[in-house]
Amino acid sequence: MTPSGTRRPRVLLADDYANMLTAMERLLSSSCDIVGTVTTGAQLLDAARRLNPDIVVVDLHLPDMSGLDACRQLKAAAPDGSVILLTAANDPKVRQAAFESGASAFVPKYRAGDELLPAIERAFAAAARGDAG
């Protein structure tokens, strides 16, 4: 809970680079509850099922599956869950594919410092209103 009594978003992070996971944890920990970090798609799907996070932040490229495939599977398992796709590429076609796969947001890694927390906050607020996507 925050000082105002509102619940903080519970966030699961997935990236195959440990340094990126550490950086995201540092960036988000003051505003979010990081419920887990994983480095593969299989770990992601298992952790999401066990931990039931509000938001999943997933890299586009995991060693065993694409972030797009992970997003589709996460949305099939929990349609009201929010998935934010994070990628090094800022390609309009990839952005479109991310939203088509059910992502709530698409954040280029080079913009994560400025855009990741606001994307999480928007997705969490949308879920609270009942219009998560």
Q: Tell me the pLDDT band of 133, cut-offs 50, 70 and 90.
A: low
Q: Minimal CA–CA distance to 37: which of 18, 54, 55, 52?
A: 18
Nearest of 3, 16, 7, 42 to residue 125 by alpha carbon: 7
Residue 69 has pLDDT above 80, yes or no: yes
- What is the average per-residue pLDDT within 9-36? 97
Mean per-residue pLDDT over the chain, rounded: 92
Mean pLDDT of 104-126: 95
**How many helices (H) does the chain have, and how many strands (E)?**
5, 5
pLDDT value at 2 more than 70? no
Cα dihedral: 72, 73, 74, 79 (round 10) = 70
Residue type, 80: D
Whether 1 shows a pLDDT value over 60: the answer reads: no
Amino acid at 24: M
